[in-house]
Chains A and B, each alone.
Chain A
Amino acid sequence: MKEFCIDRVGYVYRRNGGDVQALDGVTGTIAAGEFVALVGPSGCGKSTLLRLAAGLLAPTSGRLVWRGEVKAPRTAMVFQDAGLFPWLTVRDNVALALESGRLSREERAARVTERLAQTGLLAAAEALPGELSGGQRQRVGIARALVTAPDLLLLDEPFSALDAQTRRVLEEELIRYWLTLRPATLYVTHNLTEAVRLADRVWIMTGAPGRLIDEQRTDIPRAERYTAAAGPAIAAVTEQIWARIREGHR
């Protein structure tokens, strides 16, 4: 058993006009196989927390650690804009995530092909990102993250720039891929319904400085989450989260 622990983490942005405390004493754990969504108002520090988890920033206070049976944890991240290199083909963009590993060229190619096939991108493997739709680009971003079989998967509002239909399609696809690997996952979103449908738990943040104020479990069976029958249950949990965010605002 292993889990990713965020232990009293604080972060201060140093700026010329004075320091800005972005996060203060954020504490939480995500176990392997658990999907946690992070919601809260704009500027509350959700993305900062994600960047800290990814190692893109170093915490000003507190620590981020793995506990349990884990030697060299792999972290993968899906960016809001997919973060693809426009001159690399879809295949090369996905393969890039395996560059630092010890896999042979053949093994790498096989894993990339397998992941492209899983995400329905095999036909577009030699295309450039500029030739793809926004949804497909984001699919490449997800394929790149999953090809590493990560221990920690971080997603920073991956579907926020997409239209509602594509969002919903990708949401369902994401959870299908996720179920095959089940990494510990932290998913930042503004969309509460999306958070409830995807996550096992929803962390609720408040801003200035960013703190975790509550956690909401979404005890709706996964198999039912994308059915009409689950609509009222999802709406009820969404309302509870929204009420908590509103309280935090006051």
Chain B
Amino acid sequence: MTGGVTDKVERRERAMTEEVAVRVHPPTATREPGRRHVVCGIGGVLLLWECAVRFGGVNATDCPAPSMIVLELARLGATGVLWPALAASGMRWLTGMLTGCGLGVLLAVAAGRYRLLGGLTVPWVHLLYPVPKIALLPLFVLWLGIGELPKFVIIALGAFFPVFINTRHGMSRLPRRYDEVVAVYPVGTRYYVRRILLPAVYPSVFAGLKLAAGSALVLLVAAEMLAADTGIGALILQYGDLMLTASLLACVTVLAAAGLAIQYLIGCWERAVVRWR
């Protein structure tokens, strides 16, 4: 009997001195990959690819190893083949982007401010947005000639739609409070557009810009493949015809790097402009 009570007390005392750590389980609905994961993911695939070509019997002519592509890229740079093509493509992309994005923002803001203009433009934009823009290139060549203009127009079109749609979307979702504040404390149109409306839609404009940059890059390459003698797209087509896969993939690498750099720069620009977020 006494032994039983002593056991109970001992068990209770033991139980009091035992510690169970709190289980840490932070909410993890979505997890962004860390830098290490990204490096491992990309490096691992490139390593596998390299091994497959070097030791796995994959034909290097059909699918050159990453190291071969890097060497070819260096050669294209050193021989001066790459730079004129890059400059031509860059000029087309920049002209198209500036025109398309500028028009997209201006027209979206105007369409948001003036109902008649909104009624005239918005349905057309939504109607034309799904049309693959590159399908219109032959028509633009017919209308505008074989020069640079049809390419600028097609790239500008590709940039225009995402910027217009995103800016409009941003304007339609502005908090009602902004309008109420401006109704109580009236401001001039210039002040309203410059200091209130545009900053309010900047996040949407930048979302549109990022999509537009990618869309313009795709259309740039497509347009150069179809109707240009210069530019990265034209080079890719030329190397494809000659089965120079390493050179072809070197050009693709340049495009990928350009795409990444553009997205990074737009991100930096966004952080500088939308610093209140």
Contacts and interface: CB of A to CB of B under 8 A. Distances in A.
B36 interface: no
Contacts of B191: 99
Nearest to B202: A87
Contacts of A56: 180, 183-184
Given A76-B184, A83-B180, A86-B276, 20 more contacts: A54-B180, A55-B183, A56-B184, A77-B180, A77-B184, A83-B178, A85-B178, A85-B196, A85-B200, A86-B277, A87-B200, A96-B181, A96-B195, A99-B191, A100-B185, A100-B186, A100-B188, A128-B275, A129-B276, A148-B185
A87 B186 contact: no
Interface of B: 177-178, 180-181, 183-188, 191, 195-196, 199-200, 202, 274-277
B185 A81 contact: no
10 contacts: A54-B180, A76-B185, A77-B180, A83-B177, A85-B199, A87-B274, A96-B195, A100-B186, A128-B275, A130-B276
A100 B276 CA distance: 25
Interface in A41-79: 54-56, 75-77, 79
Nearest to B183: A56
Given A92-B195, A128-B276, A99 B187 contact: yes
What is the interface of chain A mostly: helix, strand, loop, or mixed? loop
Contacts of B195: 85, 88, 92, 96
A97 interface: yes
A144 interface: yes
Residue in A56, A79, A96 with the greatest tally of chain B CB atoms within 10 Å: A96
B187 to A, nearest CB: 4
Interface of A: 54-56, 75-77, 79, 81, 83, 85-88, 92, 96-97, 99-100, 128-130, 144, 148
A96 B199 CA distance: 15
B186 A79 contact: no
A81 B276 contact: no
A97 to B, nearest CB: 4
Contacts of A100: 185-188
A75 B185 CA distance: 8
A62 B183 CA distance: 22
Residue in B186, B188, B191, B276 with the greatest tally of chain A CB atoms within 10 Å: B276
A62 to B, nearest CB: 21
Residue in A92, A99, A128 with the greatest tally of chain B CB atoms within 10 Å: A99
A96 B178 contact: no
Nearest to B177: A83
Contacts of B184: 54-56, 75-77
B203 to A, nearest CB: 10
Contacts of B199: 85, 87-88
Contacts of A144: 185
A190 B276 CA distance: 32
Given A86-B276, A87-B276, A97 B185 contact: yes
Contacts of A97: 185
Contacts of A148: 185
B243 to A, nearest CB: 54
Contacts of A129: 276
Contacts of B196: 85
Nearest to B188: A99
